[in-house]
Structure 1
């Protein structure tokens, strides 16, 4: 008798491989360089409700090279529009309280397993299951928060060189629920969040058991879905074409025996996400707390970040293991409701055109072999410029908050 799994899977199958990243053209690299310089000059994040203030380390950590590229692709490489949208998303994340959503607050929404993060597809994408037939709450702001929370957890679990997810939706009805489509108002809210604040995150959406009423629902929301996103929607196809059978849940016609037990699954998911998220954050700290850091470096795939090898020699005191760097405050966690997710997730941003590692790739080829991570300096220095004897580093120019406003207008 097969063992029934009750916790998330830690990694993709050995045969699941991400697609190679596409190199930037000279024009795209120039636009990225311009955007990076603008973002580096931000000092404050505008917000309402008393949440405006200096940009935080966690927000800088979010501003990776690939994050900036996702917004550039989403705006068809309009760098000024991308700058405006990134700043708008930082403002939204503060006002919405993305990092303040906790697992305890979201937990009631997921008690029936209406959203499950389980396994990886054949390109290493995390599989995010939506089960609207398991809906257990009435429409509320917390249902939307549930979706946002789970998307953040999916991002925590993304393997190296992967920046998109696979969305698997089963519209099968249940004894208590025959109409499994979310309301149009809530669907539009979710679509707005996904398209504006999570661009380029949807790799593929696999949808099965679509009843006529849900078909009508999709026709209604189609005008609100990006054309590139529509191409990624696959209806009633054999999901084993996209997900290894051994990592595809039996309810979605796979061979993975999985039973959702909230008391077991929920804490296991949170623990796994916290560990992976904090490991990435500590690598970011050890690499110099760079805005525009490589996600390949943060995930451990690349040994050299934008500032060079972690243990680059500087006139710093005796090196201390990276693990001893001050531990950041644990990020709260969030949860979301399945119904809303259904439609909204299908609207996730257009296909990610994974970009290749920029100049840092050259650094990786030419720089001396990096010292082990344990040798990271205690207080990471912003950039690893060549060390000249006792020469004082130039302070980066800081742009005033008013200037930021002008650049993003």
Structure 2
């Protein structure tokens, strides 16, 4: 990961005035289970790039990628904004080698017409990198062999652009108080007790909390995001964890930065509501009536996932996706070989129609009866009532808790909770 950051810093240092992003060419030739990048490493790479190098990706061309890459992208495309989607391309060396030569110098019109001639996300690397500069491996004319000593000497000599960070004694004291024993344990668990990785991740979060100050977000700042009840806390799970409801169809703003701060505001309030011994939340995400007009843009969803996984490790107890479209479980099945079993077990699917037609689930159940009932479901399917007692679960999700969204009353109550 540090080597990845090293390369990005060198790329930034090489950018001419007016240039802000890089072109990435990823070669997937001969990738298999033995030499593929572990999911945890890929996740850290994506988290770091999206969190700390925003808008630095100009284009990413995946060369000779297996079929499931394009299938996964097609499944996820409804949730990816067009700007990001346009940056993800696929190319095949066999097709480039058999196609007509592409000139080094082309008019802007001719170049765009050629790019538009490809279907979907397919392309030719030579349309983004002139053949005279493109390696022969990818259809270019640049003759080369890997020469580590020469390359390393040259790249090491490239200067780096660096700006230091200021410090504040009072804020540092607050952060030290936040970083208690339970916090350290969460970071150790998140890295499977790899001390070096835990320290790196914790240091990144401390820096983030210093600058982003999620614990100091005021209700006034994010109040417009709460108006429709698209994201709110209500009640506790069977084992005492705060329940966080998310209803993306109620989306009412396009202020993505404030949306992310609203998410952090809710997480900080959920943490403040946790009783001793409770470390995580239960999320019930309602995907009913989601469409292209009200779905969360990919960039926002990515920032949400990045922030939660990077800066709130081990805070997710379970996430139940209610009435999710068919491609959610399909995408999860495709990605399951790259997701560790602990994380996979936290992702569940439920359908209100199936819960309504099933037998009644009581509020009080023995631990054994509860586990047997959970095990009776196939795959990642479940019933929300197995995690939240019906008396505390909203009627919308087959619970018995009668309610209507009352923004003034809710906002007054949640605003009064003091952050830890």
TM-score (norm 2): 0.50
Look up the SS of the partner of 2:276 in the other structure: coil
Distance 1:117 1:224 in 2: 31
> After the TM superposition, which of the residue ranges 63-72 and 186-195 deviates more from structure 2?
186-195
- SS of equivalent residue, structure 2 residue 225: helix
Q: Partner of 2:221 in structure 1?
A: 105
User: Which one of 168, 181, 184 corresponds to residue 284 of structure 2?
Assistant: 168
Moved more, 247-256 or 230-239: 230-239
8 Å contact 1:240–1:254 — kept in the other structure?
Answer: yes
Of residues 210, 216, 223, the one that matches 2:324 is 210
What runs of 5+ residues in structure 1 fail to find an aligned partner? 1-46, 281-409
Cα 1:118–1:216 shift into 2, 3 Å: same
Among 330, 346, 354, the alignment partner of 1:232 is: 346
The residue number in structure 2 matching 1:117 is: 233
Shift of 1:123: 0.6
Secondary structure of 1:190 counterpart: helix
Q: Is the 8 A contact 2:225 2:262 kept in 1?
A: yes
Kept after mapping to 2: 8 A contact 1:250/1:257: yes
Could you tell me how far 1:233 is from its partner in structure 2? 1.0
- The answer on whether the counterparts of 2:175 and 2:210 sit within 8 Å (CA) in structure 1 is no
Matched residue count: 227
Residue from 52, 55, 59 that aligns with 2:167: 52
Query: How far apart are the structure 1 equivalents of 2:281 and 2:323?
Result: 21
Partner Cα separation in structure 1 for residue 255 and residue 327 of structure 2: 19
Tell me the distance in 1 between the aligned counterparts of 2:201 and 2:257. 23
Q: Deviations over 1:62-118 (max 9, x none)?
A: 111110000011111111221221111010112223133211111101100001100
Q: Which residue of the other structure, out of 400, 404, 407, is the alignment partner of 1:255?
A: 400
Secondary structure in structure 1 of the residue aligned to 2:391: helix
Q: Does 1:269 align with 2:393?
A: no
Match of 1:73 in 2: 189
CA RMSD between the two structures: 2.6
Distance in 2 (CA, whole Å) between partners of 1:88 and 1:252 is: 38
> Which one of the candidate residues 199, 202, 206 is aligned to 1:86?
202
Say whether the 8 Å CA contact 1:126–1:157 is kept in structure 2: yes
Contact 1:191 1:224 in 2 (8 A): no
Q: Report if aligned partners of 1:133, 1:178 keep a CA contact under 8 Å in 2.
A: no
Q: 1:53, CA displacement in angstroms? A: 3.3
Conserved in 2, the CA contact under 8 Å of 1:250 and 1:256? Answer: yes
Q: Does 1:63 align with 2:179?
A: yes
Q: 1:246 is paired with a residue of what secondary structure?
A: coil
Seen in structure 2, the aligned counterparts of structure 1 residues 209 and 125 have a Cα distance that, compared at 3 Å, is same
Change (3 A) 1:224 1:140: farther
For the Cα contact (< 8 Å) 1:180–1:214, is it kept in 2?
Answer: no
What are the superposed Cα offsets for residues 365-387 of structure 1, whole Å, 9 maximum, x if unpaired?
xxxxxxxxxxxxxxxxxxxxxxx
Match of 1:288 in 2: none
For the 8 Å contact 1:130–1:168, the answer to whether it is kept is: yes
219-228 or 131-140, larger mean C-alpha shift: 219-228
1:245 and 2:370 matched: no
Measure the CA separation in 2 of the matches of 1:89 and 1:108: 27
Structure 1 residues 216, 105: closer, same or farther in 2, change over 3 A? farther
Question: Which position in structure 1 is the counterpart of 2:10?
Answer: none
Structure ID, larger Rg: 2
1:292-346 per-residue CA deviation (whole Å, 9 max, x = no partner) reads: xxxxxxxxxxxxxxxxxxxxxxxxxxxxxxxxxxxxxxxxxxxxxxxxxxxxxxx
Contact 1:132–1:181 (CA under 8 A) maintained in structure 2: yes
TM-score normalised over the length of structure 1: 0.51
Q: Is the 8 A contact 1:51 1:94 kept in 2?
A: no
Structure 2 residues not aligned, in runs of 5+: 1-161, 351-381
Q: Counting helix residues as a fraction of each chain, which structure ranks higher? A: 2
Aligned to 1:41: none
Conserved in 2, the CA contact under 8 Å of 1:48 and 1:95?
no
Alignment partners' CA distance in 2, 1:214 and 1:108: 29
1:183 aligns with 2:297: yes
- Three-state SS of the structure 2 residue aligned to 1:59 is helix
Contact kept? 2:286, 2:322, Cα under 8 Å? yes
In structure 2, C-alpha distance between the alignment counterparts of 1:116 and 1:49, rounded to whole Å: 38
> In 1, distance between residues paired with 2:338 and 2:301?
10
